[in-house]
Amino acid sequence: MRRLPALLAACALLAAGCSGSPAAADDTLVIALPAPPESLNPAQNGSGGQGIVHWLTYEPLIRANSDGTFSAALASDWKYVGPGNTLFEMTIRPDVRFADGTPVDPAAVVATLKYYLSSPGSMKPFLTGISDVTSDGPIVRVHLTAPNPILPYVFSQLVNWGDVISPAGLAQPDQLASKTFGAGAYTLDASATIAGDHYTFVKNTNYYRPEAQRFGKVVVRVVPDPNSAMQALTSGQIDVNLNATATLADQARAGGATVLEGNPGVLALYLVDRAGQTTPALGDVRVRKALNHAVDRSAIAAALGAGYSAVGQIAAAGTDGHDPSLDGTHSYDPEEARRLLASAGYGNGFSFELVDLVTFGMNTASQAVAAQLAKVGVTATIHTDGNDLNRYVADLSSRKFSATTFRLNTPLFASALFNITGAASPLNPFQSTDPDVDRAFTALASASETEQEPAAKAFNRTVVDKAWFLPVAAIQNYVFAKGIDGLGSFAPNGALDVLSWAPQGKA
């Protein structure tokens, strides 16, 4: 949380009507994913649940755990050196080999990180500030020209940049999209894989923690429809459902499934043309505030259904930077919206185009927001790209669209890099800048651990005051599972303990 979480439509083997398919064997873990990964190449893939193909096959430098902590993986320890978050050191453990048998040494780590730095992947904003990577004995040093306080997160499995690639993979990068070259618990079985439909993984015989290989095989299947995924879980065709939604949580519990809830995000209309390059009206903060006042968030949250709650800020409750007092900053007030529009010279309204996807309530939210904006004279024309992420990113990059509906996730600095300030992010196509936002971001970036929460709140307040977004509703993410022990929890940053999952009674 690479362009964005992959949301491509695909034909699912487990769609409704496939109830005759055999249940998963005890030694096979079957996982349903709502959409295929953008790529098997860590440099090109998105974050979120689609990253599970990498969580299985690439060992990260640092492991993010579902309880919110970080633990050793390829790096036995790590730390920032000196103040300001501009030098980061990791000690690489000596006893790990890639699946092909070659050693995971500091040279491989340095080569991998330099490959990521030179790659144009859409998650590249997370590498902000990194200027060089060097090694000295077992120590790998990450040098930065600008502070980045979340490198343990960046070098975990959650963002892919901690996934170390073997020398063989780096020597033939064109094959990274169709094969795996990691040191993780499993490797891709290409002969039993159909890209976009299902992916099969078998044990890596060189894995340094064989006790974590609790299944002989793992199959990740693409099941775009949440109801079909629910049916597949109920009938035993899948074991873990990552296409789980709040509206199906009670049904899952009634059917005996374990329900994990976490990783909250904020569904918002991103007013990306903040300088008014395509839609001049959006360059005026009074107009952006007017749009915020025109929307009844409580009504939209109710219409979206179970699990959604109204929110007026970019940080969901329970995440860093959340400030309850901000929810009332732009309260529902159509008359104030009309007054602000008139004062900005748009008393007769204006129009703009927005692009969205149908997944996770995005298009539903777009339609609800557009209907309410129309009541104050603003016309929002919606262009929907279905589940086609690649088309969506291309549309955003075209700068034809002045807004998009998407979901912000935690941590806040990561959201800021990827969704707000990152010049390379598809979600910041107009490369928005503002001196107050920049100052708040710099303060957040350089804050010490004890200063990070107040700095996050200050950044959140600044973005709300500038009305760069029209926040609508907060929603939790869900995982449903049956017959699986060791599930752990669902961390606010999205971490799942995938390698702790085990057949029921065999954890």
Per-residue pLDDT reduced to its tens digit, 391-413: 998 999 999 999 999 987 767 88
165 within 8 A of 112, measured Cβ to Cβ = yes
Is the pLDDT assigned to residue 421 strictly greater than 90? Answer: no
Query: Where do we find the tokens 């930065």?
Result: 144
Residue 507 confidence class, pLDDT cut points 50, 70, 90? low
Tokens of 275: 């300088």
* Region 446-460 average pLDDT: 90
pLDDT in tens, 173-229: 999 999 999 999 999 999 999 999 999 999 999 999 999 999 999 999 999 999 999
Specify the pTM: 0.80
Cα(71)–Cα(191) distance, integer angstroms:
34
CATH code of the region 28-257+482-503: 3.40.190.10
Residue 25 confidence class, pLDDT cut points 50, 70, 90? low
Pairing of strands 258-270, 75-80: unpaired
259 within 8 A of 487, measured Cβ to Cβ = no
* Region 218-245 average pLDDT: 96
Per-residue buried b or exposed e for 398-428, using 16+ beta carbons within 10 Å of the residue's own CB: eeebbbbbbbbbbbbbbbbbbbbbbebbbbb
Q: What is the dihedral of CA 281, 282, 285, 288, to 10 degrees?
A: 110
pLDDT in tens, 59-77: 999 999 999 899 999 999 9
Q: What are phi and psi of 50, to 5 degrees?
A: -60, -20
233 within 8 A of 17, measured Cβ to Cβ = no
> According to the model, what pLDDT value does residue 5 have?
36
Is the pLDDT assigned to residue 48 strictly greater than 90? Answer: no
Is the pLDDT assigned to residue 110 strictly greater than 90? Answer: yes
Is the pLDDT assigned to residue 112 strictly greater than 70? Answer: yes
> According to the model, what pLDDT value does residue 9 have?
28
Question: Three-state SS for 457?
Answer: helix
Peptide bond into 411 cis (omega under 30): yes
**More confident site: 112 or 44:** 112
Question: Could you report how far apart the first and last alpha carbons of the chain are, in Å?
Answer: 30
> According to the model, what pLDDT value does residue 320 have?
87
Return the H-helix or E-strand segment holding 480. Answer: strand 469-481
* Region 415-432 average pLDDT: 78
Cα(415)–Cα(493) distance, integer angstroms:
11
Cα(78)–Cα(234) distance, integer angstroms:
43
Q: Where are the domains of the chain?
A: 28-257+482-503, 264-476
> According to the model, what pLDDT value does residue 18 have?
34
53 within 8 A of 41, measured Cβ to Cβ = no
Question: Three-state SS for 174?
Answer: helix
Is the pLDDT assigned to residue 16 strictly greater than 60? Answer: no
> According to the model, what pLDDT value does residue 13 have?
27
> According to the model, what pLDDT value does residue 206 have?
98
Question: Three-state SS for 467?
Answer: coil
Is the pLDDT assigned to residue 10 strictly greater than 90? Answer: no
Class of domain 264-476 as given by CATH: alpha beta
* Region 13-33 average pLDDT: 58
In three-state form (DSSP H/G/I as H, E/B as E, the rest C), the secondary structure along 429-456 is CCCCCCHHHHHHHHHHHHCCHHHHHHHH
> According to the model, what pLDDT value does residue 8 have?
29
> According to the model, what pLDDT value does residue 336 have?
98
Cα(230)–Cα(242) distance, integer angstroms:
10
pLDDT in tens, 263-317: 888 999 999 999 999 999 999 999 999 999 999 999 999 988 888 899 999 998 8
pLDDT in tens, 140-169: 999 999 898 889 999 999 988 999 999 999
Please give the share of the chain, as a percent, with pLDDT higher than 70. Answer: 94
Residues contacting 451, CB < 8 A, separation 6+: none
Tokens of 19: 């109830």
> According to the model, what pLDDT value does residue 423 have?
65
224 within 8 A of 197, measured Cβ to Cβ = no
Is the pLDDT assigned to residue 262 strictly greater than 90? Answer: no
Cα(95)–Cα(92) distance, integer angstroms:
9
Query: Where do we find the tokens 């409704």?
Result: 16
* Region 408-421 average pLDDT: 76
Question: Three-state SS for 417?
Answer: helix
Burial of 155 (0-12, 13-18, 19+ CB in 10 A): buried
Mean pLDDT score across all residues of the chain: 90
Q: Which of 440, 102, 130, 397 is nearest to 272 (CA)?
A: 397
Please give the sequence-ordered ranges of beta strands (E in DSSP) within 251-367, or none if there are none.
258-270, 309-310, 350-356
Return the H-helix or E-strand segment holding 118. Answer: helix 106-118
> According to the model, what pLDDT value does residue 88 have?
97
> According to the model, what pLDDT value does residue 90 have?
98
- Ranking 138-147, 422-431, 432-441 by mean pLDDT, the lowest is 422-431
Please give the share of the chain, as a percent, with pLDDT higher than 90. Answer: 74
Q: What are phi and psi of 251, to 5 degrees?
A: -65, -40
